């Protein structure tokens, strides 16, 4: 009986219509592809971005402070 | 040309590369859908939708993580299962009407009749199997598809697939014996 199932399954083969591939290829010319969403930042990426921003702000404050001192000294 | 290179090119909008993918995979998809007991019109609709989805989402394919054939068959399987689970769908009785217009065109009348009877018997059996079992049985007859690939398509472990396949075959055997008796 196993052979019988194999024989039945082997006989059941649908084949694509002759122009199927050509038709699908023509069809996709009119269909836009989905765009991948821009990758979301991970937590560590947000954290390093925040740390960089804090460091930058600190350096800016430092510059302003020393500029103020320098102007005062003159 | 390498199929992975074709899918990368298709992902960048290359229609010709996509056409090559369709040519390579269309036979497998139709054979798979036919062995699930779907008639040729339904199989054509599902195959078309499979390839359109592949085109739309080609840039999501990662050759490092999966195999293109497995990916395409998974899309076809899911669409076929959705179709088969639709409550109002018509019963697939492809065996009776399609023998004439497919493989048996070239057969002698008695051979064609035998092929027709085989198909009717198979479809009667398949229609009484659960859709997931039909999908499993159909996948197991695709050439070059090992148990691990079938497991990926079915979303199960190879061990579970082996057990389910054995059970599906037993059930099919039972159904065919009932029909014969």
DSSP A32: P
Nearest CA in chain B to A7: B118
B125:A8 CB<8 A = yes
Helices (H), B2-155: 3-11, 15-35, 40-56, 68-85, 94-98, 109-127, 131-140, 147-154
| Interface subset of B 121-180, CB within 8 angstroms of A | 121-122, 125, 137-138, 141, 169, 172-173, 176-177
More confident: B32 or A36? B32
B56:A34 CB<8 A = yes
Of the candidate ranges A22-26, B4-8, B132-136, the one whose mean pLDDT is the lowest: B4-8
CB B37 within 8 A of CB B94: yes
Q: From the list A1, A12, A16, which residue is nearest B26 (CB)?
A: A16
Nearest CA in chain B to A1: B173
Nearest CA in chain A to B14: A29
Cα–Cα separations (whole angstroms), residue B19 to A20, A44, B99, B140: 10, 42, 28, 26
More confident: A61 or A38? A61
Q: What is the ipTM of this complex?
A: 0.76
| Interface subset of B 27-46, CB within 8 angstroms of A | 27, 29-31, 33-35, 37-38, 40, 43-44
CB B31 within 8 A of CB B52: no
DSSP A43-73: HHHHHHHHHHHHHHHHHHHHHHHHHHHHHHH
Of the candidate ranges B50-54, B79-83, B101-105, B158-162, the one whose mean pLDDT is the lowest: B101-105
Q: Which residues of B touch A35 (CB under 8 A)?
A: 59
User: Phi and psi at residue B92, in whole multiples of 5°?
Assistant: -80, 115
Q: Which residues of A touch B31 (CB under 8 A)?
A: 13-15
Of the candidate ranges A53-67, B70-84, B92-106, B133-147, the one whose mean pLDDT is the lowest: B92-106
CB B91 within 8 A of CB B127: yes
B122:A35 CB<8 A = no
Task: State CA B156 to chain mean position distance.
Answer: 17
d(CA A53, CA B36): 59
* B3-94+107-180 carries CATH number 1.10.1740.10: yes
Average pLDDT over residues B116-135: 84
| pTM summary value | 0.75
| Interface subset of B 55-74, CB within 8 angstroms of A | 55-60
Residues B35-62 pLDDT 10s: 998 989 999 999 999 999 999 999 888 8
Exposure string (b/e) for B152-164, b if CB count within 10 Å is 16 or more?
bbbebeeeebeeb
A22:B19 CB<8 A = yes
Nearest CA in chain B to A34: B56
């Amino acid at each position: 009986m196993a052979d019988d199932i194999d024989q039945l399954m082997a006989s059941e083969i649908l084949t694509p219509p002759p122009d199927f591939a050509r038709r699908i290829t023509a069809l996709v010319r009119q269909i836009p592809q989905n765009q991948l969403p821009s990758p979301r930042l991970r937590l560590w990426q947000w954290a390093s971005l925040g740390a960089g921003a804090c460091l930058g702000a600190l350096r800016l404050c430092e510059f302003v402070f020393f500029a103020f001192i320098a102007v005062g000294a003159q | 040309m390498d199929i992975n290179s074709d899918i990368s090119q298709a992902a960048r909008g290359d229609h010709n590369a996509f056409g090559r993918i369709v040519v390579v995979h269309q036979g497998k998809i139709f054979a798979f859908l036919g062995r699930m007991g779907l008639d040729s019109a339904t199989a054509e609709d599902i195959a078309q939708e499979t390839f359109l989805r592949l085109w739309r989402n080609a840039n999501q394919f990662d050759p490092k993580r999966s195999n293109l054939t497995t990916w395409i068959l998974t899309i076809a399987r899911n669409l076929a299962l959705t179709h088969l689970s639709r409550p109002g769908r018509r019963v697939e009785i492809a065996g009776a009407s399609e023998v004439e217009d497919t493989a048996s065109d070239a057969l002698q009348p008695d051979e064609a009749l035998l092929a027709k009877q085989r198909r009717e018997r198979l479809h009667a059996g398949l229609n009484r199997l659960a859709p997931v079992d039909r999908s499993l049985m159909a996948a197991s007859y695709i050439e070059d598809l090992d148990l691990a690939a079938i497991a990926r398509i079915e979303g199960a472990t190879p061990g579970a697939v082996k057990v389910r396949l054995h059970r599906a075959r037993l059930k099919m055997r039972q159904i065919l014996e009932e029909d014969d008796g």
